[in-house]
A and B are shown apart, each in its own frame.
Chain A
């Protein structure tokens, strides 16, 4: 059974047209992450939530936003996609120990959403 689910698997949008990617999890994990992975590159962390606490990476563009309305769901909003935002977007979750050693837990990844910008 899928534990980290991402919808849609493939998303096509137009330059400048806002798009939202969805992630849900059945693991009841505290922490949810969004990564961007461009072709032939390693995943790059955009941001993560520990419960409702949002943590943005310093070099994540303002064009990328996230929402986590409840434990199970997390959304990635790209306000004005550019051609350079075409990538695979990976969602991951981890259990997250009590507010120390946050990232020592194993992260489990979803299948990803491949975003194409026309």
Chain B
């Protein structure tokens, strides 16, 4: 069975600090996809990144970076020099690929508060 664990329920940081959001997943498939979504107070889920299980390269996009490690089944997300606009709930999600009709499974989310 697939499962996503985001152990950090809430994190609070001061602006300009770096912050890492943890995500640990479980799956029996060798082919799967991992996602991060941001949900600001407005409610919309904003897609941030998608990574497949065959691509362990870390990725950087501006102040965002992602560290994918299959050995520890983790897909952590780091925000560098955090800003108030980064305040949101962040969801990690897993989808088992190429096996047909499988839903996107979300973690419970991490609420990030960035204080000015």
Measured CB to CB, the residues of A under 8 A from B are: 40-43, 45, 48, 55, 57, 88, 90, 92, 100-104, 106-112, 114
Are A102 and B106 in contact, CB atoms less than 8 angstroms apart? no
A-B contact count (CB 8 A): 60
**Which residue on chain B has the smallest CB distance to residue A102?**
B101
Tell me if B107 and A42 are in contact (CB < 8 A): yes
Q: Please give the distance in Å from A2's CB to the nearest CB on chain B.
A: 10
Which residue, of B47, B95, B109, has the highest number of chain A Cβ atoms within 10 A?
Answer: B95
13 contacts between A and B (CB under 8 A): A41-B108, A42-B106, A42-B109, A45-B103, A48-B103, A57-B103, A101-B99, A101-B100, A104-B95, A104-B97, A108-B47, A109-B45, A112-B45
Known interface pairs A43-B45, A108-B47, A109-B44; A100-B100 also in contact (CB < 8 Å) = yes
Nearest CB of B to A90, in Å: 6
12 additional A-B residue pairs with CB within 8 Å, beyond A42-B109, A43-B106, A88-B43: A42-B91, A42-B107, A48-B103, A57-B103, A103-B95, A103-B97, A103-B103, A104-B33, A104-B97, A109-B46, A111-B42, A114-B43
Within 8 Å of chain A (Cβ to Cβ): is B102? yes
Chain B residues 84 to 107 lying within 8 A of chain A, measured CB to CB, are 91, 95-104, 106-107
Q: Is the interface of B mostly helix, strand, loop or mixed?
A: loop
Interface size on B, residues (CB 8 A): 26
A45 & B104 in contact (Cβ 8 Å cutoff): yes
User: A111–B107 Cα gap in the complex (Å)?
Assistant: 20
Cβ-based interface call for B50 (8 A): yes
A40 to B109, CA, bound (A): 8
How far does the alpha carbon of A42 sit from the alpha carbon of B99 in the complex, in Å? 23
Q: Are B102 and A103 touching (Cβ within 8 A)?
A: yes
A112-B44 CB under 8 A given contacts A104-B33, A106-B35: yes
Residues of B within 8 A of A41 (CB): 108-109
Cβ–Cβ < 8 Å partners of A55 in chain B: 101
> CA separation between A110 and B45, bound complex, in Å?
7
Tell me the chain B residues, 5-59 only, with Cβ under 8 Å from chain A: 33, 35, 37, 42-47, 50, 52
